[in-house]
């Protein structure tokens, strides 16, 4: 099976003097999978494209190739088995050239269907850079496992068990049955109440809990040392910790500053009873949740930067900044759509059919798809806004700028 790098290189190398490439990015989250909503979404995108492709004056063979692309893609996504293990998918098809490639992704920015001369792979590359390499540490009272997660796979690189104390019995007189504490309670001491030889049970309980605390901190320290060595070797970008311990967040007191800076959050997981597929899903769930939580901060920052001349709010204003390469971060409400036009040679997205370079233009059903592609070409970051209260504060599109005008 080809690696992601090989697939992307293959897509970039695609060239055809006659036929077009059909590019699909499709969301496959829980909501989209309910009642196979994703299939309806694709059919709606294909219907819109058919209408506008007729206006572009393309040849009969080219249109037949694109129509065959739509058919192949629909057949592929109609089979649930083809969509396992991903939250998003990118499909590239050029039937006239006998080309068909699929890339499974942890998520995509939004549903996009674009018919173009080239394979539009910038979103894949952007997602790969955005996710980076994620370290996943799993830990319970005795078991520690370490994984590396990226856009393609999850790989285990460390697994060890640390011996710990166990409660061998109820805390009665005598400690010979207590692991690691043989004979500690073989003496008698007077009780405040009762007979002179009655043993105080609470002292044994106290010593046991102190031993548990000592072993916890020893385990956390050993784990921290192993994690630091792993960081030196693998240089991961993010850290996720998984455990079913209630005190797991205390591990932060042991982590080096470099590791705390990379800590994204925690997932609920038992190192002994979870498979790698579930782990990967939980990690991406956490990252998506964190992205949603950042939306409010981004909207607040947008308002602050507008006052400093470093952000604009409004589709036409965003396009002006995009043309001069001044978009650092593009904010896209997930359900915002707007018809527009594309300059045929330079691929400039526009709201009117007046290309500044006097090129021929063609109409597209959704200019936002093309804006995202153009922004990715300019090395801008993309943030999709999901929460209704945040979407209402954006007038179409918004962006943070690289420099003030």
CATH number at residue 140: 3.30.420.60
Characterize 186-205 residue by residue with b for buried, 16 or more Cβ atoms within 10 angstroms of its Cβ, and e for exposed.
eeeeeeeeeeeeebbeeebe
Same domain assignment for residues 137 and 192: yes
Say yes or no: 366 and 310 in one domain: yes
190's tokens? 């007077």
Q: Do 127 and 177 fall within a single domain?
A: no
Q: What's the pLDDT tens digit per position in 43-73?
A: 999 999 998 998 888 899 999 999 999 999 9
Question: Are residues 222 and 340 both part of a single domain?
Answer: no
> Is residue 279 one of the residues assigned to a domain?
no
* Residue 177 pLDDT: 33
Instruction: Give, in degrees to the nearest 5, the angle at Cα 144 between 160 and 205.
Output: 105
Task: Give residue 168's pLDDT.
Answer: 36
376: containing domain: 294-405
Q: Is residue 263 part of a domain?
A: yes
Query: Is 285 within a domain?
Result: no
**24 strand-pairing partners:** 91, 113
> Are residues 253 and 169 part of one domain?
yes
Confidence of residue 311 (pLDDT cuts 50, 70, 90): very high
Q: Say if 127 falls within a structural domain.
A: yes
As a whole number of angstroms, the distance between CA 46 and CA 329 comes to 29
Express each pLDDT in 340-368 by its tens digit: 999 988 889 999 999 888 889 999 999 99
* Residue 158 forms part of a structural domain: yes
C-alpha separations of 214 from 218, 294, 319 in Å: 6, 37, 60
What average pLDDT score do residues 168-185 get? 36
Q: Mark whether 232 and 191 lie in a shared domain.
A: yes
Claim to verify: residue 398 and residue 368 sit in the same structural domain: yes
Q: What rounded mean pLDDT belongs to the chain? A: 85
Q: Do 100 and 150 belong to one domain?
A: no
Give the CATH number of the domain where residue 62 resides: 3.30.960.10
Backbone angles phi, psi at 79, to 5 degrees: -100, 105
- Exposed/middle/buried for 207, CB within 10 Å: 0-12, 13-18, 19+? middle
What is the percentage of the chain residues whose pLDDT exceeds 70? 85
What is this structure's pTM? 0.82
Q: What is the CATH number of the domain that holds 404?
A: 3.30.1330.30
Mean pLDDT of 79-100: 95
Contact 385, 394 (CB under 8 A): yes
| Domain final residue, candidates 224, 245, 274 | 274
Give the CA diameter of the chain. Answer: 105
SS3 assignment, position 107:
coil
- Asked whether the predicted pLDDT for residue 192 surpasses 50, the reply is no
More confident residue, 51 or 226: 51
CA distances to 86, 148, 282, 298 from 152, rounded to whole Å, are 10, 11, 15, 28
Domain contains 287: no
Q: Are residues 147 and 123 in the same domain?
A: no
Give the pLDDT of residue 204.
53
C-alpha to C-alpha distance for 129 and 381, rounded to whole angstroms: 10
Choose between 230 and 189: higher pLDDT: 230
The answer to whether position 169 is within a domain reads yes
Overall number of domains in the chain? 3
In angstroms, the CA 397 to CA 314 distance is 5
Q: If you search the block for the tokens 């496992």, which residue do you land on? A: 145
Q: Given a cut of 50, is residue 188 above it in pLDDT? A: no
Confidence of residue 183 (pLDDT cuts 50, 70, 90): very low
Same domain, 81 and 182: no
* Percentage of residues of the chain with pLDDT beyond 90: 63
Over residues 18-26, the mean pLDDT reads 96
Q: Are residues 5 and 78 in the same domain?
A: yes
Shared domain for 254 and 138, answered yes or no, is yes
How would DSSP label each residue in 25-52?
A: EEE-SHHHHGGGHHHHHHHHHHHHHHHH
Q: Which of 72, 102, 131 corresponds to the end of one domain?
A: 131
**Residue 255 included in any domain:** yes
Last residue of a domain, one of 87, 115, 131: 131
């Amino acid at each position: 099976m080809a690696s992601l790098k090989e697939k992307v290189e293959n897509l970039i190398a695609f060239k055809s003097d006659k036929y077009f490439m059909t590019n699909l990015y499709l969301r496959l989250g829980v909501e989209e999978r309910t009642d196979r909503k994703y299939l309806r979404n694709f059919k709606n995108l294909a219907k819109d494209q058919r209408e506008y492709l007729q206006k572009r004056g393309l040849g009969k063979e080219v249109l037949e190739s694109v129509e065959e692309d739509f058919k192949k893609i629909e057949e592929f996504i109609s089979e649930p088995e083809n969509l396992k293990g991903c939250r998003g998918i990118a499909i590239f098809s050029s039937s006239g050239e006998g080309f068909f490639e699929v890339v499974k992704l942890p998520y995509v920015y939004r549903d996009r269907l674009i018919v173009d001369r080239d394979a539009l792979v910038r979103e894949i590359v952007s997602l790969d850079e955005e996710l980076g390499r994620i370290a996943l540490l799993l830990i319970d009272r005795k078991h520690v496992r370490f994984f590396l997660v990226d856009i393609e796979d999850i790989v285990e690189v460390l697994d060890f068990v640390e011996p710990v104390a166990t409660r061998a019995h109820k805390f009665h007189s005598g400690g010979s049955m207590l692991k690691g504490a043989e004979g500690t309670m073989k003496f008698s001491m007077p009780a405040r109440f009762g007979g002179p030889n009655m043993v105080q049970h609470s002292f044994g309980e106290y010593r046991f809990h102190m031993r548990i605390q000592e072993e916890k901190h020893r385990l956390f320290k050993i784990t921290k040392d192993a994690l630091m060595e792993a960081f030196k070797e693998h240089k991961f970008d993010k850290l996720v910790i998984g455990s079913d311990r209630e005190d797991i967040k205390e591990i932060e007191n042991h982590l080096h500053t470099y590791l705390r800076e990379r800590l994204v959050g925690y997932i609920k997981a038992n190192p002994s009873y979870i498979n790698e597929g579930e782990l990967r899903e939980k990690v991406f769930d956490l990252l998506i949740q964190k992205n949603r939580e950042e939306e409010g901060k981004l909207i607040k920052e947008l308002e602050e930067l507008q006052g400093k001349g470093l952000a604009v709010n409004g589709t036409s204003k965003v396009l002006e900044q995009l043309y001069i390469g001044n978009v650092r971060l593009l904010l896209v409400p997930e359900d915002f759509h707007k018809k527009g036009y594309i300059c045929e040679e330079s691929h400039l997205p526009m709201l009117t059919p007046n290309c500044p370079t006097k090129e021929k233009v063609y109409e597209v059903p959704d200019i936002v798809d093309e804006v995202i592609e153009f922004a990715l070409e300019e090395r801008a970051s993309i943030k999709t806004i999901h929460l209704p209260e945040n979407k209402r504060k954006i007038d179409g599109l918004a962006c943070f700028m690289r420099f003030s005008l």
